[in-house]
Structure 1
């Protein structure tokens, strides 16, 4: 497993583990399955784990904290969490110091950590990025030792560009994959220029870029790939990276026609992301140990060839760009 610098947070595995799936919104996942997935990630050399206080109302944080308790105590892993989506209503005014302090303290308890390694604002309303007092509140929590570093998780490139104007922001988490290519135009360059770490989520487009989904696929009622296809619960960009399901399958078919058989599609997608030097870590999530190990192995896979990069560009332009590029 290769490592990269994540802002001032330190070196982390370039393939991390996204713990949304072990919390909720992906169908039923048992406690044993969740623990096995986290353990598989650790055994595969992953030492960066990303969770949030709303994933299963704290379930994901608790499982990560309990499963990795010894590694956390030894400082052998970096755990990132998020705060803000517990607000109801989820409005910019709610991103005040008192609320952030309450959320952070709850996460500290869930994870069993006196000082959280990294806290990210959890896709707040755009207005939050224009409120210095929110970032002042994070500075205060850092000075008190409740958090070691802070960053943001954004929906849109413009939000990321605004966030990195604040000197305390060490990381930006953003959706970036072969079906969401816009961050490569400007954002990655600006983040690198400021030594801001970049965490890439939804790298496999909610399963589209695994090649395992078919046109007759059915998802459980409590799976966001069922109930959020139109953005009814949260930003539609989090589901299939915002690509309409049928268009996404067409794009996958087009990729299959252009790619060599010896490169699995998930490895192709993860390598496409990692081949961008400004990326610090990519955080695929899975509850299947075999898939977790395969994702981790992408760190040691060969970089993409010119032909593979051309295929990614052509398929994006032909099948995906019109659905996502101008929106996020």
Structure 2
């Protein structure tokens, strides 16, 4: 069990938890930065967590929920106020509603996570600061210390599972709910490089092509929230064309953008695409959370095998665009 000490200080309204690990500092940091990995240990054993949003950058947000043994659900959020990779990050932490907005009826706190190298690996120090003695007491009575110990008991297995999260594994798809999926891929490049490759038309036309035999004759990019974008592809042999269009809803370079997406000429509601870039060991973790209007639409799209085409594009991005930028 990695937790080595827990100290409560009523004078400073804080609780400090120290945990030691046999893994290198960067490996420990990446476990917190990757939504796939932190989901495996943030919740207690009996209340596993699912992170549906995780923007690990100053100004970013996270939204997660924990599922109880009888199907109960408890949502939480983080607001990142400072990030200094791979040494520390600070968040406002609290309970959330199911849409990720703060639940102001419940207590909240500030948390600072600090990471440092040790002779045997790495250490994490988590200091939680509360707004009042009553909030501190309330969270202690709700089992915060016991829950944290239970959650941390799972992290060693995550840190040792290097193969599952290796950079060369390729594009992965995870179903989060009836209407949401998450697609992840570690791209060999910096976050600004990967951001530019997703936002500069001339670069996009070089790699965002799916299987061989397609070109991208139309690539209109939205620069500011509220603007529209349009992308069209053409088969070099059959001249068949298709495309997507939508609106840019949020943009925070170089780590997050949110858009709507709809196939050109098709009726019905759009999807919402949340794209996040997070620096990790080996490059930049690309995370794409897609929200579909219903389960039928989700299953119809997944049946197309879209991740195969995405993997082909990401390989082209690494080998033909980012490699030439080094």
- Fold conserved between structures, TM > 0.5: no
> Relative to total residues, which structure has the larger helix share, 1 or 2?
1
Structure 1 length-normalised TM: 0.34
Q: Decide which structure has the larger Cα Rg and report it.
A: 2
Bigger fraction of residues in strand: 2
Work out which structure has the larger RCO, using CA pairs closer than 8 Å and 6 or more positions apart in sequence.
Answer: 1
